[in-house]
């Protein structure tokens, strides 16, 4: 098995794990009064720019015990994915790079996706270390 297939399989396993964790939180931790919830802007930052947050702060553990915050995060991620897919649909429009070379939108989206994936992996590692 080459490295790409191993990474793809690992990513699929991680996705299943996070999906199961998300479902568990949604089923097991209702919080209709939203006690201790993070505000919508902060949840948006978790989705959009997690690298700009101090994820070692214990307040971020709240999302693992709150169905309402988990539901909001899920919605924010879906909105972000739809926006990224819409950007990819415009892939036939070339963009001039800073160096004068032409770069297509799919490449830029793929690069951004790779960065986001790495950021999420780092977030998961930090959260795992806090939970242990």
Look over the chain and give the mean of its residue pLDDT values, rounded to a whole number. Answer: 77
Q: Which residues of 48-63 are buried (b: 16+ CB within 10 A; e: fewer)?
A: eebeeeebeeeebebb
Q: What pLDDT is stored for residue 96 in this prediction?
A: 46
DSSP secondary structure code for residue 110 in this structure: H
pLDDT at 39: 95
Q: Is residue 98 predicted with pLDDT exceeding 50?
A: no
CB 74, CB 22: distance < 8 Å: yes
Say whether pLDDT at 20 is over 70. yes
Domain-wise residue ranges, the chain: 3-131
**Residue closest to 117 by CA, chosen among 3, 15, 26, 4:** 15
């Amino acid at each position: 098995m080459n490295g790409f297939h191993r990474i793809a399989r690992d990513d699929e396993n991680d996705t299943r794990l996070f999906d199961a964790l998300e479902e568990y939180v949604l089923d097991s931790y209702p919080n209709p009064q939203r006690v201790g919830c993070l505000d919508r802007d902060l949840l948006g930052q978790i989705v959009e720019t997690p690298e700009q947050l101090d994820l070692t702060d214990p307040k971020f553990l709240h999302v693992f015990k709150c169905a309402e915050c988990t539901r909001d995060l899920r919605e924010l991620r879906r909105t972000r994915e739809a926006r990224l897919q819409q950007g990819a649909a415009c892939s036939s429009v070339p963009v001039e790079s800073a160096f004068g070379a032409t770069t297509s939108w799919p490449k830029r989206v793929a690069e951004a996706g790779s960065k986001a994936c790495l950021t999420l992996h780092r977030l998961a590692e930090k959260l795992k270390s806090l939970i242990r």
